[in-house]
Amino acid sequence: ARTNHKSSGARNLARSTGYDSSSMPAFLKSLRRVSSEFLSMPKHLWKKRISKLRQIKPSKMIIHNPLKDIVSRYGRNK
């Protein structure tokens, strides 16, 4: 009965924080692509690649402060 209990919780949290979960699969795909790219790359090049990746900020993927967002939305004192 409690199969994908954890993932649905994450989905509900995502929905309540206004986080766009539809962009998640694409994000995971790119993450997988990047990680395989790292594995096929000599280690001394990793730092260079990471600094390049850091310049790309997927703002949609970042929930800046989910707890604060939830508290401000549902309020402790409501």
DSSP assignment of the chain? --SSHHHHHHHHHHHHTT--GGGHHHHHHHHHHHHHHHHTS-GGGHHHHHHHHHH---GGG--S-HHHHHHHHH-TT-
Instruction: Count the domains in the chain.
Output: 1
Please give the Cα distance from 38 to 26 (Å, whole number).
Answer: 18
Contact 49, 38 (CB under 8 A): yes
Structural domain range at position 39: 5-74
Is 0.75 surpassed by the pTM of this model? Answer: no
Q: pLDDT higher for 22 or 26?
A: 26
Residue-level pLDDT at 31: 73
Q: Is 54 a residue whose pLDDT tops 60?
A: yes
What value does the mean pLDDT take over residues 4-20?
Answer: 55
Residue-level pLDDT at 78: 45
